[in-house]
A and B are shown apart, each in its own frame.
Chain A
């Protein structure tokens, strides 16, 4: 491609048909709505976290079945870890300055994606570990009383659904990281 060809291409690129200018009031409204949605999202996540923690403490105090305690304990631990990590990422994301040089912001975004990948990795490993312990619990209970724990089986079903979801999320984050690293 010589300079003349490139200049033609630049002319073609810049001759895009005009479109109506942006409505900044609408953008401001949209931004406010996004902020509100983010605030409600964080509030809801906090509420869920606190409810599960309270439920877990209650289950411990009332000596609930071991499977229930285990289930809630896992939920609490996993939820708390994700809550902290996700919110740390959100804060970092909000701190990325829009006016910095692109190479710096690209590095920051790649870092966020690496953190996301670590989160999905952690989720997959924790879920596998949880499934393993759950299977052991079910087997021990079955060997001792010949009764299959319905709660335990339900837990395994949830795990079976969660694992592929985490894997798909991880794969997508990898794809985005690849796009940003090209």
Chain B
């Protein structure tokens, strides 16, 4: 997997990781229109970056690096609106009507709780929720495994607190 990944394969990889991209975007952006935009930006950045994938790390690691990097870029460019504007938009965001209402509410509660976490905790938490192991999280973030453990521990405590508050 050293040379270039073919264009068709790149599109296929983007489609494969699309659910992860959507979830990551939701963890970073509350405003539905901007969340959609962020997802598209992540997908496009991934599609472009796959052209430079040289196999020095796992494809999974590479993908998560790219999508979370796009999110950080997004925060710098778009997180200047007031919090109350964000909260209002959140109420109006609509998802698929077929999904079980209760589960949908729980998912929204979880998304909101994750969005409340400080960035360093949020990143670790989102990667862990995706089922990524500690070693790989440490490779995505560029921090030690011990540091990942500490952040995850704090993130879990904060998330529990947030979820209990929202109940």
B49 at the interface (CB under 8 A from A): yes
* Chain B residues within an 8 Å CB radius of A13: 23, 107, 110, 129-130
A-B pairs with beta carbons under 8 A, tally: 137
Contact A16 B141 (CB under 8 A): no
| A4-30 with Cβ < 8 A to chain B | 6, 9-10, 12-19, 21-22, 24, 26-28, 30
B99 at the interface (CB under 8 A from A): yes
Contact B70 A98 (CB under 8 A): yes
CB within 8 A of B130: which of A14, A17, A106?
A: A14
Count of residues in A whose CB is under 8 Å from the partner chain: 41
Query: Measured between alpha carbons, how far is A17 from B72 in the docked complex, in Å?
Result: 24
Query: Measured between alpha carbons, how far is A27 from B119 in the docked complex, in Å?
Result: 26
Contact A26 B103 (CB under 8 A): no
Count of residues in B whose CB is under 8 Å from the partner chain: 59
| B38-75 with Cβ < 8 A to chain A | 39-41, 43-45, 47-49, 52-53, 62, 65-66, 68-70, 72-73, 75
Query: Measured between alpha carbons, how far is A101 from B18 in the docked complex, in Å?
Result: 21
A180 at the interface (CB under 8 A from B): yes
14 pairs across A/B with beta carbons < 8 Å?
A13-B129, A14-B23, A16-B26, A17-B95, A17-B98, A19-B18, A22-B14, A22-B39, A98-B66, A98-B73, A100-B142, A109-B75, A109-B76, A172-B80
A interface with B by C-beta (< 8 Å): 1, 6, 9-10, 12-19, 21-22, 24, 26-28, 30-31, 93, 96-106, 109, 112-113, 172, 175-176, 179-180, 182
